Structure 1
Amino acid sequence: MPDSAVDDEPKVRVHRLAEQVADHIRGRIIRGDFADGDPLPKSEELIRRYPVSMPTFREAMRILEAEGLITVRRGRLGGAIVHRPSPANLGYNLGLVLAAQRAGIGDVAVALRHVEPACAALCAARRDRARTVVPRLRELHDEYLASIDDLPAVVGVSRRFHEALVSLCGNPPLIVLAGALEALWSSHEESWASRTEPHGVPLSKRQASGEVHGKILELIEAGEAEAVHQLVASHLATAQRNPKPASDPAIDLTLVRELMQPPGAAADS
Structure 2
Amino acid sequence: MVTTSEPVGRGMRAAKTGELIASYLRGRIVRGELVEGDSLPSEADLMDQFEVSRPTLREAFRILEAESLIAIRRGSRGARIVAPSVDVAARYVGLLLQHSKTTLADVYEARSVIETAAAAMLAERRTAQDVADLRECVAGLENLVESGDPSVDAPVWSTATTTFHELVLERSRNQTLALQSAVLREIIAMHLAIVARRSTDPARNLREFRKSVRSSRKLVDLVEAKDAEGAEKHWRAHMEAAARSLLRDDLRSATVLDLFN
Q: Same fold (TM over 0.5)?
A: yes
Tell me the equivalent position of 1:33. 33
Give the direction of change, closer, same or farther, for the CA distance of 1:57–1:173 in structure 2 (3 Å limit). same
AA aligned opposite 2:138 = H
Percent of aligned positions that are identical: 29
Shift of 1:199: 3.0
Given that 1:92 and 1:253 are in contact with CA atoms closer than 8 Å, whether structure 2 keeps it comes out as no
Given that 2:42 and 2:77 are in contact with CA atoms closer than 8 Å, whether structure 1 keeps it comes out as no
Tell me the equivalent position of 1:55. 55
Alignment root-mean-square deviation, CA: 3.3
Q: Which runs of 4+ in 1 moved over 6 A?
A: none
Give the direction of change, closer, same or farther, for the CA distance of 1:81–1:113 in structure 2 (3 Å limit). same
The runs of 5 or more residues in structure 2 that have no matched partner are 1-12
Give the direction of change, closer, same or farther, for the CA distance of 1:164–1:57 in structure 2 (3 Å limit). farther
Tell me the equivalent position of 1:3. none
The runs of 5 or more residues in structure 1 that have no matched partner are 1-11, 256-269
Shift of 1:183: 4.4
AA aligned opposite 1:141 = V
Matched, 1:216 2:219: yes
Greater radius of gyration (CA): 2
State the TM-score, normalized to the length of structure 2. Answer: 0.75
State the TM-score, normalized to the length of structure 1. Answer: 0.73
Shift of 1:220: 1.4
Deviations, residues 21-70 of structure 1 (Å, cap 9, x unaligned): 2112211221223455x354354465555443332222212212222333
Taking the TM superposition and a 5 Å limit, the aligned residue runs for 1:29-178 are 29-36=29-36, 38-41=37-40, 43-44=42-43, 46-47=46-47, 49-75=49-75, 79-86=79-86, 88-126=87-125, 128-131=126-129, 133-148=130-145, 149=149, 150-151=152-153, 152-178=155-181
Shift of 1:109: 0.6
Helix, strand or coil for the counterpart of 2:173? coil
AA aligned opposite 2:25 = I
Given that 1:163 and 1:182 are in contact with CA atoms closer than 8 Å, whether structure 2 keeps it comes out as no
